[in-house]
Structure 1
Amino acid sequence: MTRNLSAPTGQPHGRAPHRGRAWLLGVALPVLVTGAAWGLTARWIPRLPEEVALHWGADGRVDRLGSVHEMLVTSGVMGGVSLVVLGLCSVLLGRTSFTRRMLLGLAAGSASFFAGLHVTLVAAQLDVTDPAATPVPNGGFTLSVVVAVLAGILAGALAGRDPDRPATGPLPATAPRAHLEDEERAVWLRRVAPSGPFLRWGGVLAAVYLGLSLWFALISGGWFVLVIMGAAATLPMTMLVWEVRVDASGLTARGTLGWPRQHVPAREVVEARTATVSPFREFGGWGLRTAVDGTVGVVIRSGEAIAVERTGGRRLVVTVDDAATGAALLNTFAERSRARPDTA
């Protein structure tokens, strides 16, 4: 049976776990970091010239000056919008550990990044007499990026694992099953990778992207930009090829290097089914993604996928060949785990 991913399932969403951590890491910590940065710069404002550098060109020279008020408003709007949006998402969303780690990491990392940029921009112009001659504060910008990444990783690591939520009700009668004897074991294993055209065009775009990054860093001396763009290009490489496995423990999807990893225990499966997925329309892109409704997706290409409904209103979708076989076997193991919970 094939259903559209957006079809309602009737399962309750449940309350997101670790609410205290969400408030602490997604709201309180970003507010404290932002407040500390603005408190420090407030003491420095009298030491700033009437006009300050607002932007540097590719040659490393100031190409735009403005008032201190304009600089503060720009920094305040960028940091403030990020603070509010990510803070709300942190406390309202996050039913799965992946979504929770991502949101709390973004909240803490973004706050650290914008606070670092703000402090760097102000500190670079203290007591200057000619703001047009202010050099690019590459060291401060680079440090801001490093601190932001570390803050995001730490917040994500502290976001908390999903609690154990075994399913209690029976699987729907319409859920497909695999035909296994009572003591028979089985493993379903598939490797999923992007299509050939996707890899070819992706390789061309990646080469152009890295080339432009290197060129910009060379002519501007802005090596912090190369650090940012290089890190942004490296992470997706770990999500191009996935191994998908269904066995008695449940469904497991692992990235190229064994990470990232998504696992659904058989005892938490409400129902597994097939779905037809459009990565861009439903998830906004390819890779390990989160949809608007909170569904986590390992979406490497369009087409057939295993869609797993979990307890607590959680969902995982994995695009893979022969999804019907994988879904049926997962349902069988889920049903077996209910009958023998002590061995699940």
Structure 2
Amino acid sequence: MLAYLAISLAVAASLAIATFAGRRAAVRPADGSRSRLLGRVRPTAAAAPATSVLIAVVVLVLTGAQLDGAVPASWVAPVAIGVGLALGLVAGWITWRALPEPDAGEAADAAPALPLAPGERAVWTASSTAPWVVWVVIALVAGCLIVPIVVAPTAWWLWGVVVLVLVVLLATIGIRATVDARGLTVRTLFGVRLVRVRLAQVVSAAEVEVLPGEFGGWGFRIDVRGRRGIIMRGGPGLEVRRTDRAPLVVTVPDARTGAALLNALAARARRG
């Protein structure tokens, strides 16, 4: 029982660290309100107890079913997972309701457009990679490949799923953002295009301060305000307000320059 409690607390602690992780995680809203900061990180904060309850229930049920040394029935594992998910959702919902309401926030001020001469061509590009925490997760996933292969070598779908997750993680450990005459393009470090925002779709672009916890962690995310995010780490990010979709946030260094160039190119495109 103590071991399961320790595992659950460790998971909750790791998710709590992820909630507030980032180079500028300690930055608070302009009014200094702690409740507003908690509202921003509400998704990740609610995920911590939900995940802990899920793990604890599954481990306890599966262990209890094998205390007499017998092989548990085939229905035990699915039921354990189903009950764990249900109770985890309840724990997450209770936590979500207990935390302050997220601040709707105001749109960031657009970055001043870069002065461009008529016909002048300009390109901005920046790269961003995942923090060490994500690398640790990838290493753990790679280590977990050994478990299903050894324990259940005939259950190919088990390790097949883990391999798929590992490939996806490796494909999204870094991004490169480019602003040019085509608009904003974001690709993985392997060259696969993730998103493109054409100049005709750009309303405005701005530099914003990003906390991974407000998007629920790293990767492809949606925050409580509906913004789409490609979140690699905490710190500066390029936010693009679009005509036909929700705002897009990409965490990259020197985001102010990228936003200023995107505003200039979009304004030129509108003038024809």
TM-score (structure 1 length as normaliser): 0.47
CA displacement at 1:190 relative to structure 2: 1.2
Give the 3 Å change call, closer, same or farther, for CA 244–278 of structure 1 in structure 2: same
Distance 1:204 1:295 in 2: 27
Distance 1:292 1:277 in 2: 13
Q: Which residue of 1 aligns with 2:138?
A: 206
Letter of the 2:112 counterpart: P
Among 321, 325, 329, the residue aligned to 2:253: 321
Distance 2:74 2:265 in 1: 65
Q: Which residue of 2 aligns with 1:224?
A: 157
CA displacement at 1:215 relative to structure 2: 2.3
Preserved CA contact (<8 Å) 1:238 1:260 = no
Letter of the 1:336 counterpart: R
Q: Which residue of 1 aligns with 2:123?
A: 187
Preserved CA contact (<8 Å) 2:110 2:204 = no
Q: Which residue of 1 aligns with 2:113?
A: 177
Q: Which residue of 2 aligns with 1:109?
A: none
Give the 3 Å change call, closer, same or farther, for CA 204–285 of structure 1 in structure 2: closer
Which structure 1 residue ranges, 5 or more long, are not aligned?
8-55, 79-171
User: Does residue 235 of structure 1 match 2:171?
Assistant: no
Q: Which residue of 2 aligns with 1:134?
A: none
Distance 1:334 1:283 in 2: 27
Give the 3 Å change call, closer, same or farther, for CA 203–66 of structure 1 in structure 2: closer
Distance 2:113 2:237 in 1: 16
User: Does residue 288 of structure 1 match 2:224?
Assistant: no
CA displacement at 1:303 relative to structure 2: 0.3
Q: Which residue of 1 aligns with 2:238?
A: 306
| 1:270-313 alpha-carbon deviations (Å, 9 max, x no partner) | 1101100011x221111222224332211111000110000035
| 1:8-52 alpha-carbon deviations (Å, 9 max, x no partner) | xxxxxxxxxxxxxxxxxxxxxxxxxxxxxxxxxxxxxxxxxxxxx
Which structure 2 residue ranges, 5 or more long, are not aligned?
1-26, 31-64, 86-107
Among 208, 214, 234, the residue aligned to 1:275: 208
Give the 3 Å change call, closer, same or farther, for CA 329–233 of structure 1 in structure 2: same
Q: Spell out the pairing of 1:130-209 with structure 2 (5 A cutoff).
A: 175-195=111-131, 198=132, 201-209=133-141
Decide which structure has the larger Cα Rg and report it: 1
**How many residues in Structure 1 have an aligned counterpart in Structure 2?**
187
Distance 1:288 1:173 in 2: 24
Distance 1:313 1:215 in 2: 42
CA displacement at 1:174 relative to structure 2: 6.0
Give the 3 Å change call, closer, same or farther, for CA 312–203 of structure 1 in structure 2: closer
CA displacement at 1:192 relative to structure 2: 1.6
Q: Spell out the pairing of 1:89-104 with structure 2 (5 A cutoff).
A: none
Distance 1:205 1:173 in 2: 36
% of aligned pairs identical?
Answer: 33
Preserved CA contact (<8 Å) 2:138 2:170 = no
CA displacement at 1:173 relative to structure 2: 9.6
CA displacement at 1:175 relative to structure 2: 4.6
TM-align CA RMSD: 3.6
Give the 3 Å change call, closer, same or farther, for CA 227–334 of structure 1 in structure 2: same
CA displacement at 1:182 relative to structure 2: 1.4
Distance 1:174 1:188 in 2: 17
Q: Spell out the pairing of 1:72-91 with structure 2 (5 A cutoff).
A: none
